[in-house]
Amino acid sequence: MNIRGISADTLSLLLIMGQESHPREFAALLSTEEGVIRNVDIIPGTIGGSASASVLFEMIPLNVGYIGSAHSHPSGAIRPSEADLAFFSRTGSCHIIVGHPYGQDDWRCFHADGTSIELEVIPDE
């Protein structure tokens, strides 16, 4: 899948989700429209904790076309942990981490192996 970027509104939503769930983590799955990340889904049964968030994989709908995940790091560390890498490997190829204090520059995108991806923020019309 060729991912062109993330919509500005979707990025703002992820940063707000981080703020609203702080000091707990949130986790969600992402999908695209025409190569742009525009959809954020919280899977039923997802639990956000102070050190991690867990997703019930058996609750993920089939054939939705998720391309990756998003979650928060209340600590502000915007890099994947070993647990994140294990999660990434099960949920797609494009993963966004938002970190405290959840400002416009407090996020990064990663491949499933943890290498950084430059992701363009695409203005919404």
* Residue positions annotated with a catalytic role: 25
The CA distances from residue 53 to 11, 19, 25, 32, 70, in Å, are 19, 15, 6, 23, 11
CA distance 21 to 25: 6
E-strand ranges in the chain read 5-7, 27-33, 36-41, 47-48, 53-54, 68-73, 94-99, 107-110, 116-117, 120-122
